[in-house]
Structure 1
């Protein structure tokens, strides 16, 4: 009897991509890829624009701070809204708003009227839309695929996001070189149509709202925080996400400085560096999708957390372009593997009726804390250098990971891991 090795391989591939068998999720996934490519093109162009206008590391960090402050302020009420209203309708509004903002940015750049204060206003408004978009997206996935496919869908969703992170920055470097900065913002505006069309084309999406939809927003938030206080395992993961966002993720805002001042490269080089991190991120997301049913996902969080901490230090010290790319691949793998795994663990262990609110708190710990890291990094860099800053950040991240590792039996025990 001949053993069918290809059959086994095929079943494994189906396991990795099983959530794509659900039509609504398939529409959402492909729309996300296209939209996120445009988003990453704009991120690179925006960073290059800011640094070209100001030559200020502090302003790079400060505008990163402005971009995420709305997440800190508005995510909690957004979580309540996501639990009570149609998530598809919410996403339609937020995507349309961000499309208009990208178009405005493109017009300002192409006419030569762009000023730093205008960038600040647009970045803040975009962050406000993201504050509602984020927790809604996170909790919307369950409605599309159901609980059984949720871990796999989270991994595939991260693959879409970070696959775009490979394509977008590399494309941005080419677009800036041949078409100019304004084209990047116009392309991003058009890319939002993919998500809007996908949302419109979905059929039979059940709007699952909170059973406790009565009462005020404050009462709903009090209930969510009470749940977290009584669940130290979920709280520990959210704190770990916050540490990662505070001292690791801000490196992306300072990539123009690494590219231009340390590695002596141009916009194309910046795109290649960010694409390297994106490649690692895709590999990390696929790792999460493949290990969706693994019983050792908590240890995967610990391993990947240590990997990105170590390679952040090596990247900060590197003056070789190729070695910096290699470091960024490992940083991308580690950050996405840890974040997507923690996301899945949290979603699988919270009550359905509270998922939007808990994910809004998760979003605050991720995107809401990040601006403070960008601000702190900008301040430290203005007195020393970006290299010293991220060596310190990487070291602190290693210490935090090691501390939680030795307490994992107490703080990281879950039923559905």
Structure 2
């Protein structure tokens, strides 16, 4: 029997999955979609803080904007049942329409706090429920051996937009105001939709599913619950989304204004540094190909993320903050790329949509965690809240690694 060639590694292998023209279209669509998401995240978050000057109301806005993540199990079952390309086309169309409506209201001066919250929730309905379909299509397009590379390239797309989107958003707020930045988000969603159209017919389920959606959800949870490795991956996702990601989503305008004395452009640079670090980390992981010990890098990188946020909470120096945000982005690539890769590798193909739906549900605790952390920050300050959250995450991952050591060896 012929031996299979080992996967190539290094700079030439980093872009391997982009040689697949269908995956390249999906990747470009993701690039524009998340460009719009990051742009509106900065602009609308800044508008909320400028309107309210309240850390708690910023956290409340974030909680409502991210609450559609709680629909993850339903979205996962739908992704296992219906044409995934059509689901993505629907999501991009909805995001375009919602962002255009918010931009119009901002342009005519009719965008109070409640309208920003409503717009954020509506955009969340486009972003979050589409994720299981988006990630499930990747495996179909590139195959298992290229999955880690393809997910790293998708993470690169998100980080490229995290570099460009916030910088453009912050500069535009400073130069011409928030409505212009929101119109850029609208155009990016339009490009994302256009690039998805040639993929119609891809992402179809392999068999006819007649089981009701809620019965599919229940059977999916039972099957995943029996999978020790998949549960461990989901627990890491849950811990990070309780303790760290709400801080990034909610409190960056507060850190920028109160701790570092930065304006909107400075906030954009902070987020850009994080995106540049994430882009670098994703490039490194993509170049590794189908490498061993993915689980160890996943757990170790997430623990490093907690420690770095604890360090960031203590700094009041702009230069140090920029450097730390870049390193935070580097560590976040280990978490962002490998959580989806490991979940897809440790579950059966028929469960992929529901496994990713369970991941969305784990991410969906973020709104509730944002409210809790917002209340804590209101009481003791964002610095102490962030320091405590980062240290608790490190401790939780040490316990998980001791209880499920096979995750560290998984590759």
- What TM-score, normalized by structure 2, do the two folds share? 0.94
2:392 is matched with which residue?
396
Deviation at 1:65, TM superposition (A): 0.5
Q: Does the 8 A contact of 1:94 with 1:133 survive in 2?
A: yes
5 Å matches for 1:22-101? 22-72=20-70, 74-101=71-98
Q: What CA deviation, in whole Å up to 9, does each residue of 1:24-62 have, x standing for no partner?
A: 111121222233223212111111100000000001111
5 Å matches for 1:285-364? 285-364=282-361
2:381 is matched with which residue?
385
Q: Distance in 2 between matches of 1:118 and 1:173?
A: 21
2:3 is matched with which residue?
none
Q: Does the 8 A contact of 1:233 with 1:413 survive in 2?
A: no
Q: Counterpart of 2:45 in 1: which secondary structure?
A: helix
Deviation at 1:201, TM superposition (A): 2.5
Deviation at 1:409, TM superposition (A): 2.3
Match of 2:141 among 128, 141, 144: 144
Q: Distance in 2 between matches of 1:327 and 1:11?
A: 29
Deviation at 1:339, TM superposition (A): 2.7
The answer to whether structure 1 residue 223 and structure 2 residue 208 are counterparts is: no
Q: Distance in 1 between matches of 2:126 and 2:338?
A: 25
The answer to whether structure 1 residue 273 and structure 2 residue 270 are counterparts is: yes
1:5 is matched with which residue?
none
Q: Does the 8 A contact of 1:84 with 1:210 survive in 2?
A: no
Deviation at 1:235, TM superposition (A): 0.3
5 Å matches for 1:74-223? 74-202=71-199, 205-209=201-205, 211=207, 213-223=209-219
Q: What CA deviation, in whole Å up to 9, does each residue of 1:146-182 have, x standing for no partner?
A: 2222111011000001111011111111111112100
Q: Distance in 2 between matches of 1:109 and 1:154?
A: 35
Q: Distance in 1 between matches of 2:122 and 2:20?
A: 33
Deviation at 1:309, TM superposition (A): 1.2
Deviation at 1:212, TM superposition (A): 6.5
Deviation at 1:410, TM superposition (A): 5.0
Q: Distance in 2 between matches of 1:24 and 1:402?
A: 40
The size of the alignment, in residue pairs, is: 403
The answer to whether structure 1 residue 240 and structure 2 residue 236 are counterparts is: yes
2:5 is matched with which residue?
none
Q: Does the 8 A contact of 1:37 with 1:168 survive in 2?
A: yes
- What TM-score, normalized by structure 1, do the two folds share? 0.93
Q: Does the 8 A contact of 2:306 with 2:391 survive in 1?
A: yes
Q: What CA deviation, in whole Å up to 9, does each residue of 1:95-129 have, x standing for no partner?
A: 11111111111111111111111111111122222
Deviation at 1:380, TM superposition (A): 0.2
1:7 is matched with which residue?
none
Change (3 A) 1:39 1:207: closer
Change (3 A) 1:11 1:151: closer
Deviation at 1:14, TM superposition (A): 2.7
Q: Does the 8 A contact of 1:287 with 1:337 survive in 2?
A: no
Q: Unaligned stretches of 5+ in structure 2? A: 1-7
Q: Does the 8 A contact of 1:65 with 1:374 survive in 2?
A: yes
Q: Does the 8 A contact of 1:65 with 1:371 survive in 2?
A: yes
Change (3 A) 1:413 1:212: farther
Q: Unaligned stretches of 5+ in structure 1? A: 1-9
CA RMSD, aligned part only? 1.6
Q: Does the 8 A contact of 1:211 with 1:353 survive in 2?
A: no
Q: Distance in 1 between matches of 2:162 and 2:299?
A: 24
Q: Distance in 1 between matches of 2:406 and 2:378?
A: 40
1:18 is matched with which residue?
16
Q: Counterpart of 1:84 in 2: which secondary structure?
A: coil
Q: Counterpart of 2:46 in 1: which secondary structure?
A: helix
2:4 is matched with which residue?
none
